[in-house]
Amino acid sequence: MSRTRLFRAMRLSGSAFLLVLLQSGCGPTNSPRAPDRVSPVVSATDSSQPARGNAKPDSRIYLETFDDGPGGWYGDRRFALPVWDGIAYCYSPWWTDANHAPPGAGYLHLLLWTYTNKAHYQVEDDYTRLLPYRYSRFAEEGHSRNLTNAKLTVRLRGDGDFKGAQMLFLVQAKTDKTTVNSALTGQPFKITRDWSEQTVTLAPDPQQWTCLGARHDMQDEYGCDDIDKVLADVNLDIIFILFPLKVVPAGVDLQDIHTPRAVQDYPVDQQYLPKGLIMLDTIKIEYPN
């Protein structure tokens, strides 16, 4: 089926079609625990490694077209990113990340993400053993982690009811002070039914970025630091997210929903969370001269 016919069928058939076609998608339900094994649904030509014989990439440009599979990008929490015909698919339901719940900036969904530093996926620990693959084209090709004033271009389209959440780019880095998660809230991506190519600039302007901080019991792990310091060495990962989310407990009466952990300690009412499909076929980072 061609890309155009596939997308048109999704629009006409609605969520029922999505549930059938995309049964093992970007992420699981809002289960607090990921499955121990994941069967990636990717194109028949998928390879998480770059094709042999390719020319050495231009160090001034990072380019992911998903023509050879996920390229080391993960879907949702830590799952194999579904790729068909050179297009990455991210669709609901997504895991609800409560690490930055108030007094942090709030809850979010992870759409897709990749490591910028190979040291983080080469280590043996409980987290990396759950990953469906350990690879990042960004890291393996040796692209600079200094993203100051880089231009990020994404070609995407999608459809759904995103409940006011915006698709944002997020950088995560460990500084000499803390581990920082900063979202580019000043330049959100527009999710449209037709393909669009959109470019944002990763300028070290504090007005453009929102530091997500941390929930009450994770402030020793996450915090805030100057955005120019973060962009100068994005040494953990780069992430596309949906933010902010409205989290409402399902079937329980809580005076304070932020002290317990959403999903893990109480169920979340799905009707208040984003629903839909987002498709990407290009992610490009152009470094300044």
- 74-124, pLDDT tens digit by residue? 999 999 999 999 999 999 999 999 999 999 999 999 999 999 999 999 999
Confidence bin at 58 (pLDDT 50/70/90): low
Across the range 277-288, mean pLDDT stands at 98
Across the range 200-219, mean pLDDT stands at 98
Task: Decide which of 240 and 20 is more confident.
Answer: 240
Task: Scan for tokens 């037709």, then name that residue.
Answer: 194
Residue-wise pLDDT for 160-178, tens only, equals 999 999 999 999 999 999 9
Q: Shortest CA distance to 238 belongs to which of 161, 159, 145, 126?
A: 145
Q: Which domain holds residue 96?
A: 3-50+57-286
Residue type for position 255: Q
Arithmetic mean of pLDDT over the chain: 86
d(Cα 210, Cα 184) in Å, to the nearest integer? 7
Q: Above 50 in pLDDT, residue 243?
A: yes
d(Cα 72, Cα 69) in Å, to the nearest integer? 8
Beta strands 222-223; 179-183: pairing state: parallel
33-47, 135-149, 251-265: least confident range: 33-47
- Alpha carbon of 91 to those of 20, 26, 149, 269: distances in Å? 12, 6, 30, 17
Instruction: Count structural domains, the chain.
Output: 1
Instruction: Give residue 165's region: left, alpha or beta (phi > 0; psi -120 to 50).
Output: beta
| Strand ranges (E), 179-274 | 179-183, 196-201, 210-211, 222-223, 237-243
Across the range 139-151, mean pLDDT stands at 97
d(Cα 62, Cα 285) in Å, to the nearest integer? 5
d(Cα 128, Cα 78) in Å, to the nearest integer? 9
pTM above 0.85, yes or no: no
Across the range 213-241, mean pLDDT stands at 98
Instruction: Identify the pLDDT of residue 56.
Output: 56
271: its two tokens: 């009707």
